[in-house]
Amino acid sequence: MNKLIAPIILILAFTVTSCSDDAKKAINNIASQSEETLGGISNDRTILNPKLGNFCDGHECPEGIVAVKTEKKKLTCSGIVKSQSEVLISENCATENEAFNIQTTDGKLIKVTSVEDELSNEFGDKILKLNLEKEIPNTANIELPEIDNNEVQLNYFNELGELQSQDCELTYASLAYANSFDNESQLLNIKNCEGVRDGALISQNGKVIGFLTKKHNEIELYEGISLNGEEIESTIPLKIDSLSLNYDSDDILILGLYASVMPILEGEYSNQEIIFDKHNFIFDIRTVCLNSKLKEAYEDETIKIKFNNKLYEFNGFTQLEVLKNISYIPMELGMIVDFGQTTANFNKAHKHIVYRGSLSELVKPRNISNNYKGDKTHYLITPVNDNRYSTTNIETCY
C-alpha cells in the first residue's frame, strides 16, 4: 500500500508546483496590463473599486459619472465631471481633508491634485471641486430638474464599492423646508427613498441635477443641492400662499389668506395680527384694534395645519384644525343674564364682551324683547360663575 501511495504524492506535488508557476506568470501579466490601463497608477487595493472596469454595467448612469475613492476612509463616492480637469462631489460623502483618486467608467484611475469648495447651501452642506492630474474627456450634462417631472434617480456606492441605483421623487410641497420652492431652487427635497447614502448623485433622464446631502432628522425626507439651482430666501407662509393657489377648498383658502396678508389682516371689523409658528404649523390671529363702526360680533382664532402625510406636504387634502377661539361682542348685542349678581371680570360699563370660545357656542334668543329688536344678531350672555366671560375696551383703529 505504501509503495503505491508514494508515486501518487510525487505526481501531485509536481502538478501543484507547475500550476503555481503558471499562475504566477498570469498574475504578473495581469498586473503589468492593469498598470497601463490605470494610467500609470499602481494598482493599490485601497484606491480601486472592487469591481474593475465599467462600474455602470447594469445601471442607467448619467454621462460624466465617476467613482471617487478616498484613501483614508476607503469609501467610494459618486462624482461628476464638471470640466475635463474638474470633478464635483458632495462633502457629505467625504470631506475636503481626504486624499482622492478618480476611477472612470472605462476603468482608468486619475490622481486628484487639489480640493476646493465649489458651493454650499443654507445648512452648511458643501459641494467640493477636485482638480485632476489628467483630463477626462466625457463631461456631465448639468441641468435643472424638469418642470413637470419629479422622478429622479439616485446613484451611490455601497460599503463594498458597488454602484447602487434607486428611483426617488422630488417634492416642492413640504413645509419642512421653506426654500425648496420650485424646480429652479438650489435646495431640493427628495422623498420615497430608503437607505440611500449621503452624497448620492441625483440625475434625471441621463442629466445630472445635483447631490443628495443628508436626511431630515424627524421625517423621511432628504435635502439635496441643485448644481444649477438658485439660492432663494423664502418663508413657510410665502410657500403656503403659493401652494394654496393650486387648490379650491374652504380650509386651504383660509390658510392661503392668512399666509398672504401677514403680519396684519386689515378686516372689515378689526385689524388682526397674524403670528405663525413654523415649528408646529400654527396660525395665531389676535385683535390689535377695532373698526370704530363695529356693530357685529367677530372672532379671533388659533388654527393648526393638518396634513394627510408624514412629510408635511401641503396639498389638496390639507385641512385646518381650530385650536381655540376668542369672541368679541359689542355690549349692545349681549343679552346679559346675571340674576342680579356681578363678577370681578365683568363690567357692564365696558364696550365689549370677551368670550373665550366660539360664537357658535352662544345661544341666540329667538324671542327678543323690544329692547333688542333690529337686524343685528344678539347673544345670550351668562357670566355668572363662568370665567370664560370678561369685558374690555378695545382700541379703535381710526
Distance CA 359, CA 354 (A): 10
Task: Record the cell numbers describing residue 183, joined without a space.
Answer: 424646480
pTM for the predicted model, two decimal places:
0.79
Q: List phi, psi (to 5°) of 269.
A: -100, -25
Single out the residue of 187, 194, 207 nearest to residue 164, CA to CA: 194
Which has more pLDDT, 283 or 371?
Answer: 283
Which of 16-20, 259-263, 284-288, 392-396 shows the lowest mean pLDDT across its residues? 16-20
pLDDT tens-digit series, residues 305-323: 999 999 999 999 999 999 9
Distance CA 222, CA 207 (A): 20
pLDDT value at residue 111: 92
pLDDT value at residue 344: 64
- 370 CB-near residues (< 8 Å, 6+ apart): none
The pLDDT of 288-299, averaged and rounded, is 82
pLDDT tens-digit series, residues 140-165: 999 999 999 999 999 999 888 889 99
Cis peptide bond N-terminal to 62, omega within 30: no
Under the banding of pLDDT at 50, 70 and 90, the label for residue 325 is very high
Task: Record the cell numbers describing residue 291, joined without a space.
Answer: 373698526
Under the banding of pLDDT at 50, 70 and 90, the label for residue 9 is very low
Is residue 24 pLDDT above 60, yes or no?
no
Which has more pLDDT, 301 or 57?
Answer: 301
Is residue 46 pLDDT above 60, yes or no?
no
Under the banding of pLDDT at 50, 70 and 90, the label for residue 96 is confident
**Beta 201-204 vs 126-132: how paired, if at all?**
unpaired
Handedness of CA 157, 158, 162, 168 (dihedral sign): negative
Distance CA 156, CA 125 (A): 18
Distance CA 118, CA 122 (A): 14
Angle at 115 between CA 113 and CA 120, to 5 degrees: 160
Is residue 15 pLDDT above 60, yes or no?
no
Contact 265, 274 (CB under 8 A): yes
pLDDT value at residue 149: 96
Decide: residue 56, CB within 10 A, 0-12 exposed, 13-18 middle, 19+ buried. Answer: middle
The pLDDT of 321-348, averaged and rounded, is 82
The pLDDT of 4-29, averaged and rounded, is 42
When the pLDDT of each residue in the chain is averaged and rounded to a whole number, the result is 84
Which has more pLDDT, 30 or 231?
Answer: 231
The count of other CB atoms within 10 Å of the CB of residue 278 is: 12
Is residue 168 pLDDT above 80, yes or no?
yes
Under the banding of pLDDT at 50, 70 and 90, the label for residue 346 is confident
Q: What percent of the chain has pLDDT over 90?
A: 57
Q: At what angle do helices 250-261 and 236-244 cross, to 10 degrees?
A: 140
pLDDT value at residue 341: 60
> H or E element: which one contains 251?
helix 250-261
Residue type, 395: E
pLDDT value at residue 2: 46
Task: Record the cell numbers describing residue 134, joined without a space.
Answer: 489628467
Is residue 7 pLDDT above 70, yes or no?
no
The count of other CB atoms within 10 Å of the CB of residue 320 is: 19
Distances (CA, A) of 40 to 47, 79, 175, 304: 13, 22, 51, 64
Under the banding of pLDDT at 50, 70 and 90, the label for residue 40 is very low
The count of other CB atoms within 10 Å of the CB of residue 397 is: 15
- 239 CB-near residues (< 8 Å, 6+ apart): 175, 178, 181, 314
pLDDT value at residue 159: 85
Q: What is the 3-state secondary structure (H, E, C) of 82-139?
A: EECCEEEEECCCCCCCCCEEEECCCCCEEEEEEEEEEEECCCCCEEEEEEECCCCCCC
pLDDT tens-digit series, residues 253-275: 999 999 999 999 998 878 999 99
Under the banding of pLDDT at 50, 70 and 90, the label for residue 51 is low
Under the banding of pLDDT at 50, 70 and 90, the label for residue 286 is very high
Under the banding of pLDDT at 50, 70 and 90, the label for residue 366 is low
